[in-house]
Structure 1
Amino acid sequence: MLRFLLVQLLLLLGISCFSGKAAVSLLEERERVRERGALLEFKSLVSDPSRILSSWVSTNDSGDAHHCSWFGVDCDAQFRVSSLKIVGGGGSGSGRRGGGGKFNYDLGGVVDCFNVSKFPFYGLGLRRICDAKVGKLGGKLPRVIVELRKLRVLSLPFHEFSGGIPGEIWGLDNLEVLDLEGNLFSGKLPVSVKGLNRLRVLNLGLNRIGGKIPDSFSGLIGLEWLNLAANELEGLIPVFVAGFPRLWGLYLSSNQLKGKIPDAWGRSNCQNLKYLDLSGNELNGKIPISLGNCQKLRVLLLFSNVLQGVIPREFGQLRKLNVLDVSRNSLSGDIPSELGNCRDLSILVLSNLEDPYSSHGAAFGHRESNLFRGSIPTLPKLRILSGIEFEGEICDTMNTDNSCKSLVYVDVSSENAPKFTFSACDSQISNSRQLNHGPTAYLSFFLSRACLRTKAKFLLVHRSRNDDAHSVVKRLENARLLSELNSSLDETVSSSSVQSSSENLQANAAESPSGEGERESQNQFNSIEIASIASASVIVLVLLALVILFIYTRKCAPRDSYRIQVYERREIRVFTDIGVPLTFQNIVKATDSFSAGNCIGCGGFGATYKAEVSPGVIVAVKRLSVGRFHCIQQFDAEVKTLGRIRHANLVTLIGYHASETEMFLIYNYLPGGNLERFIQERLTKSIKWKALHKIALDVAQAIAYLHDECNPRVIHRDIKPSNILLDNDYKAYLSDFGLSRLLENSETHATTGVAGTFGYLAPEYAMTCRVSEKADVYSYGVVLLELISDKKALDPSFSSHGNGFNIVSWAHMLLRQGRAKEVFAAGIWESGPHDDLVEVLHLAVKCTVDTLSIRPTMKQAVQLLKQLKPIG
């Protein structure tokens, strides 16, 4: 009897558990349907003349999750919308007025997100470039967007949304990124942001938002990047803005802010601050000396305010400072010699007669009232110097000191400096990606403004090629660009070059002809001068020998001893020697600080960048999302295991870096791109069956190796065309193997979702979260179907078939109906033996059946493909 009661009790518990799970599943399905409806309503309420949202198509059923494949929409493992990211650019409008404060701009017909010539320093180092072909959405931002309750990223920059930002958005509990830059939003900021406890990025720059920065923002303590620049904000800068502990980028330029810069900066919470732009406001008082404590600061822009006093000597503590612009204020006093400690300082703008907020070079807004005294300290990396109203020598002694060697542009009117003209300019530096960087942006600004003046006074300084430490200067006549100076300089006696790492500008220089009396005096040396020259030569030779010895010993030192010298947090662990040293610094430099211009792909684990670490030596760097990998020790252990995996059809893991602030993996670079791009572009190429068979076999061999020969075995979990790379001979390489397991083992919280991409997930994996090798087999079957057909996994053409219909359902249907030929893309059916092609189709279909026991192993798939190898 007791046993019977126990059985009944267990049955009841099982039924209850099953009912609970069913109820949860039903609830989640309702949420997905509701979110899809919200997206369709969003589409119906916005203006979309460029048909950006054309892929957002309604279906007749309510059970699918196809909205996760719509343009700009990303979902989590439960197919709930986690990200809505659509970057606009132009093309649909005929021009508009945008921005606030001093910014008036027209985006009609331009390629950039904003007109760079009118915003020379906006968002310096972080501004983005977008394509006008994308078009723009317009109208009011629909409130229905708050129905996406799992939304973590809302990014709709550079469109034409107007009116106020819906108040409900400020209550989205999961929102981490709110990016509405470059729209036409007006109104005021909210008085309550109770829901945004997780917000990391708030980007509302280039809008028309007015009022004050509300006290409600004091609760956004997790902010890492705050951009409110180019609006119509007024009042004081709240003290709490200086207290965000994780903040690394703060942009408040071109508003109507008044009062003093909070002295609280630098006293407690600026340890992460790298970019601070307060230019173009009405700020007064002194520059806080506490800013000298923000030791990670790279860019400090304070120009076009009414600041008084001196440049704090404490700025000498900013060892990483790259750009300092304090022009168009009312500063005075000595130029602090402590600035010489800022060894990375490459741009120093002390005075500037040209208003950065005027597009025509006319005086506008704040006038230049700075008056400095003294000399510019030795700054070895100084490339751009503008100081029109200061007294004293430039670089201490221009003709003998090496501190001027890197200078590209100097704008002065000091009595000890010669005057030159620069006119007849009709060309400017226009590469907007280069203009994202400080040196190029400032150089372009000064040259373009000089071009607008008939008799601009400035000095161009070069280092001569023979390294004689002479700063050679020359009169510039009718030069259009710095890169054209080689053709405009006359009477060239000696040549020199100045090369920028980003703009690759070159110029020749020649010594100005001197009078006969000067030449005679130069040839007459007394004994003291001869002795001094001889002594200096000996010293230089000794120093040169020491430098050569130092470099030689570093090159010959064993790898382990070299690593000991590297700060542990910047160490790169290397598995494969590629012939050149890999350091954290040269990876960052080769990727241009992981700039968008070097990005060659984005995936669920992070973005991948192309990096030329040495001439002709290129690697691929996958920068991981640090927040997803919490345990560095576990991460190290897992990556070391992956580093031992070697196969001819797997990308090679060369090395990696892992710290609390940065993680990336270094792979061999494949020039052929990925399979996704190959499939998209093959309509323009003549692709034979032999090439497709080679790709299919290569991928199958790679997966089979992971399943059967690795110890421990590896289940990929995210096999898809974008994770399959090609070389120039169509040899295929599988990438991102092991990363799903790496994520699972590195996260501190329990992983309840699934890795992978919707459309390639095996049904049993998606439903139960249980993974096996057969899940990879299913994904491979989907890839194989894409490879031989002209369809995507979730092709829009399938929407008319109903619930859950995808490339697998389509292929199964055509094969059952005896229409196998219709599966193959144009030209493939004609290029290969029909029997072999049908066999491959049967293999793909068999890989994607629901019953796991019927699916072949990858080893069996390899054997079949080898039997079907094309002849010749």
Structure 2
Amino acid sequence: MHRLLIFVLVELLLLLGFLGFGVGEGKVEALSLLEEREILLKFKSSVFDPTGILDSWVSVNDSSDDSSSYHCSWYGVACDSQFRVSSLEIVGGSKGEETSSGNFDLGKAVCFNVSEFPFYGLGIRRNCDAKIGKLGGNLSPVIAKLSKLRVLSLAFNQFRGGIPREIWGLDSLEVLDLEGNWFSGKLPVSIKGLSRLRVLNLGLNRISGQIPNAFSGLVRLELLNLAANELEGLIPAFVGRFPRLWGLYLSSNQLKGEIPDDFGGSDCQNLKYLDLSSNALNGKIPVCLGNCRELRVLLLFSNMLQGVIPRELGHLRKLHVLDVSRNSLIGGIPAELGNCRDLSVLVLSNLDDPFMVYEAPNGAISHSENNLFQGLVPMEITTLPKLRLLSAPKAGFEGEILLNRDSCCKSIVYVDVSLNNGDGPQYTVGACHSLPSRILNSHQLNKGYIAYHSFFIRKVCSRTSSFVSESKFLVRIRDNSKLRRPENARLLSELNSSSDETVSSTSVQSNAEDLQAGADPTPGSGYGNGNSNKFNSIEIASIASASVIVLVLLALVVLFIYTRKCAPRDSSRIQVYERREIRVFTDIGVPLTFQNIVKATDCFSAGNCIGCGGFGATYKAEVSPGVIVAVKRLSVGRFHCIQQFDAEVKTLGRIRHPNLVTLIGYHASETEMFLIYNYLPGGNLEKFIQERSTKSIKWRALHKIALNVAHAIAYLHDECNPRVIHRDVKPSNILLDDNYTAYLSDFGLSRLLENSETHATTGVAGTFGYLAPEYAMTCRVSEKADVYSYGVVLLELISDKKALDPSFSSHGNGFNIVSWAHMLLRQGRAKEVFTEEIWESGPHDDLVEVLHLAVKCTVDTLSIRPTMKQVVHLLKQVRPVSKPNVS
């Protein structure tokens, strides 16, 4: 109420100013206040807000309480002393951890999939701490009309499209934080404002192109985060010349060339965090980085850097984390690193790719660690007082690697110097049982040690889970006879690194004894060894038979009750007495009713049918002039329980992704079910493949389609909660627009998996030719079934064959596109898989890599198939560089 009185008083004063001074300043300010309220309401009307984050934003006519129309009190809005909007801060969030009271802890709401970027943003935000929910849609340029805006923070929402050019002209803006959205397009080549900008955070988006020279004018920058985008080209020298810069994050892009020497100039005196990891950088590590004396974190892993580690890095006395793994470095490790007294994490080599780990059939890990050092790890490093994690497996070291127990082992939690030529102790000490899932949700993950500790210990514990469930410590030793237990440690197993964690027979025995000692007595354990207290074979058979009969009768009773409750009535027409409700998830500006859907499809006539699938047919429906939707009419008999279907579709209705068609709404009754999607006029991928011989389709367009679909499936598998298995990935369920952007459809027919579930047992659904063999034979479906289907689609995309092409009939029954591709690749005839035009338009090495990926997706062994997240990563590595030439 006080705010309302202040607001009314201000407006009266401004109005008096207007009356007293005519067209003076009072009139301008009064109009501005009214205009800013309208600007915010226009912004609200332009966004998708399914959880009602902006419900407090109401106009005077909409509010029963006039105080709610005071825009400076609206959620996320802050004003200056003149009541002008100075800050718009709406940080989106996902569902946090559930507390014992049933509420959700917003402080633990994860902003993004930590497992995909385990070391992203060390030193900056890792968690959402705002209201649960996300805004979506395109970012309206109307925001730029708030001329006094100093902070614009819309991080971790679902905004898409390009960043409006008007934003780059805001003169007062100091913070532009659009991290964790779906923004695409390129950065501006010219900037007319932002002279006061301190923070530019655009990480975790899909921005492409190069870092523009226009950014060189942002001389007040303190934080620049462009990580986890799709940027390419060189790192401009000017980014190392910002005198106030304390954080620079350019990781997980496609940047190439050398690291500019300017990073070590006189302007790097404030630089604390430098992350250039996971790019394609080459050349040497600049010697002048040693001049950045405030540096805390230096991440250079997963590049193609060469040469030696400069001894000048020893000048970085405040350095906490140094990771140079997965490069092509050589030479000795400089003893000068021992001067980094605060160093807690040192990663010289790493066999576990932070972005992709494949499990080979024999349990070995496929890796690309190429660092090959000489000599040994200097004692000056191994005796650092704060060293907690040292990773240097298969790094080429020779001789004994010593660890000073008095100064080092009191703080050490992880050491891996296995697969070297030394014979000193090589061990890991880690409390596997003390790493619950909550550590991944902790805000402490923005600290280098915690993030690295979580990553490495989880890798070790996951590979030895059968031996650590009851243990406090995991100890790895190259030679079991040289085992020295850390003080107060409980020995679990002794692993021989030469055979990659082979457990000795004595450790297995002792572990089994521990479990036996803590177990309940087995039935009959109190009886003697005589036969008097045992059942004879006839009695056992009688009891078993009776038990089976009882179980069968119980099963029949349960089945009868279930079918009476959930089975649909046998009816071929829509019943007039049924509820004809349509549940709507997305407002398309036109009311959706059962009647206008049936009318728009002409009672689901064949003339409006635009596709058929295993779950039903899809119809085009113009529900209003110019408003067209796609309606998927489901075969009711495929769904055994309406209640379960209803609950699952409600969950799926909240799913939003740029490469998924939008599930607008649905209807479900005992005799009629249909889903309503947005309509895409470009047709489906099946039609595209059939007609591409009449067009000039280059490799870049096909790669874009493959990557779009992979993004969509990876989102369903890794970012949805519960996880979603599509079950029917095929070309006819992949839609295209005019720019060859692909959209996965029919995900509303998917199977949901809780986090604790590894698979689901369900009736086989899908299309022959795309079904994973284990799913077709056992009815057990997991994410790897979608991976198999995707691999088939990828083979169709690059070849001129269908999944069950007639040309395969000469090879015998069961021969399909998977068998054909595996055969050609095995025989060294990879070129024959591709169409002639694709082979000529794409780099041959990249095409063969994609073929290897498709083959790996379609192997029978589930453990060899990659995850869709790994598929996305691999496809990004072979992204075409040239401009598309498609028509």
Q: TM-score, normalised by structure 2?
A: 0.47
Q: TM-score, normalised by structure 1?
A: 0.48
